[in-house]
Chain A
Amino acid sequence: MSRLAEFFGQKIKVINLGIPGFAEDLKKQGIENIHTEWRPPAGGNKKIQALLARVDAWQSQVKAAKGAR
């Protein structure tokens, strides 16, 4: 059975990023979840965000290269 079909039999546990109401609705339904007080990274500084994006891209490349070996 595929990994996704196996997941269909499991209980879900949710990380909520953004609108708090979505986490509140999950709580009302008794679903395990955690709401994150998310905010734009790097204090909203676009220059630093662009640098972080480059680091992310570099890390993805390193991961992919390691996986290919």
Chain B
Amino acid sequence: MVVCHLVKKQTYFDSVTLMLIGSQVKKLDGIKNAVVGMCTDYNIDSLKRLDMYRPDFDGLTPNDLIICIMGNDKTTAEAGIAEVEKRLNSRKQAGGGNAELPPSTQEEAARRLPGANVVLISVPGEYAAREAELALNQGRHVMLFSDNVSIEEELKLKTLGSSKELLVMGPDCGTAIINGTPLAFSNAVRRGDIGLVAASGTGLQEVTSTIHRLGCGISQAIGVGGRDLSEKIGGRMTIMATRALAEDPATRVIVLISKPPAASVLKPLFAEFKNIKKSVVVYFIGADPKIIEEQGFVAARNLEDAAIQACNLSSGGKHKPEMSDAEIATLAGKHKVPAGNLRSLYSGGTLCDEAQRVLQPILGEVSSNTPVKGCLEMADVYKSTGHCIIDLGDDNFTRGKAHPMIDPDYRSERMHQELSDASVGIICFDVVLGYGSHPDMAGEMVAAIRRGQKSSGKKPILAACICGTTDDPQGYQQQKSQLEEAGVVVFPTNVAMVKFAQHCLERK
């Protein structure tokens, strides 16, 4: 093996672009490994661990780009470097095209776009709070996609935001639809009178997409970040956002989706809701719905149910699940179930959580890398045993790699691994559409399934749910057809897919 490298001083690219290019080049013939990244402490550690570090990297800074390729021989490794450069250049051209050079700071951008009212921040976590504070001080709302922002910094930002009545969506907030515009990872959802506040990214995507497919629409979908309802943050953004939705003339129904709040937050939150003269639907993931109903609010049983309840209140109609329990049972009856284990490969964290909560009481022993109460922690997240429900978007799988909604590489590899396991009877997975997501996730998963089936000869039941709308850029019907042609049973919601798996596994 030969390692070749190239350092480009003072050349900065965002980590997602670099990780995706590294992952694509790694697939080329003769390339054993590829590290393409800024010279951060993490990337330096990775290079040392992979035995690709060189002493002349000493003294480089996070503004310097390193391309390191391990290949079968020097020619292959050098060709790998040339390929990375080619892809980086085309990336630069795609982003450019303007006669004027792009701004390099937020201040300069603000001068060039007078009246800017939202700042979308996805820079590395260590720098994110500074940019967010700057935005708030200039009177702009913030969507903080970045993770690795401390809870102390979050508290400081949300205290500042609340004092100025400015949104601080995040940190680690992937989804929001503000004033009709999807930001980051969000679906194309029609406008309507349902306003949502959520401390769950894929939870928000699942509910807003279902609302759209049921024929209703949304006024706002405000992500607040997973820690907003913790004791320390005190639900600052949730309370501010619901108060504004209560005043908003375009909103008739308010929906809240979150893990159960800290006990100290629950009381003021309910007190706030009691002042609202609009219908309120609440889904506290995994909590007893009685605590919500006792307070006089509508409690949802799952994400799909949250959408149905909201649509019923919005249109006065009687909306039903897109696939009834009877239809799911009939569909399951048509499949000859090979005895075996369940393997669920999720890119959406809340969907993984929802599946565990439904299936664990039925299956008994279920393992996960993100276990909910009653489930077991996987001994080795890279190797499944028994029934496993896995969140591939969790930190274990995304250190130094892009999220599985963008980069299907590891999930494809894992699909192959599960298909090669003789103990597997059914494999479930999600396909999340919308802005920000991979342009053809169904195609990638089908290719992985075909490769896996060819080499293993195994054909367990395959089931997928599509989180998306017919207006999403990927094309809902086209994604669905690709999966169906490959023999995958496709469901409109996660809970429908999970019920199907339950029927299959109960019958075995």
Partner of A5, one of B91, B130, B247: B247
Of residues 49 through 65 on chain A, the ones whose CB sits less than 8 Å from some CB of chain B are 53, 56, 60, 63
Cα distance A40–B14 when bound, in Å? 10
For A3, list chain B residues within 8 Å (CB): 164-166
Cα distance A58–B248 when bound, in Å? 38
Judge whether B12 and A39 touch: CB under 8 Å: yes
Q: How far is the CB of B87 from chain A (nearest CB, A)?
A: 13
Partner of B181, one of A26, A38, A60: A26
Judge whether A31 and B122 touch: CB under 8 Å: no
Across the two chains, which residue of chain A brings its CB closest to B121?
A: A17
For B245, list chain A residues within 8 Å (CB): 5
Cα distance A19–B406 when bound, in Å? 12
Judge whether A36 and B102 touch: CB under 8 Å: yes
A11 at interface, CB cutoff 8 A: yes
Judge whether B220 and A19 touch: CB under 8 Å: no
- Also in contact, A13 and B118, with CB within 8 A (given A20-B17, A31-B181): yes
A68 at interface, CB cutoff 8 A: no
Contact with A along B314-339 (1 / 0, CB 8 A): 00000000000000000000000000
Q: How large is the interface on A (under 10, 10 to 19, 20 to 34, 35 or more residues)?
A: 35 or more
- Also in contact, A19 and B247, with CB within 8 A (given A34-B112, A36-B103): no
Interface residues of B (CB under 8 A from A): 10, 12, 14, 16-17, 39, 61-64, 91, 94-95, 101-106, 108-110, 112-113, 115-124, 127, 130-131, 133, 135, 137, 140-141, 145-146, 164-167, 178-179, 181-184, 219-220, 240-241, 243-245, 247-248, 250-251, 435-436, 473
Known A13-B117, A21-B436; further 6 A-B contacts with Cβ < 8 A: A1-B247, A5-B247, A8-B250, A14-B116, A18-B145, A32-B113
> Can you list 14 residue pairs at the A/B interface with Cβ under 8 Å?
A2-B244, A4-B240, A7-B117, A8-B251, A11-B179, A13-B117, A14-B116, A16-B122, A17-B131, A19-B17, A35-B102, A36-B108, A38-B14, A40-B63
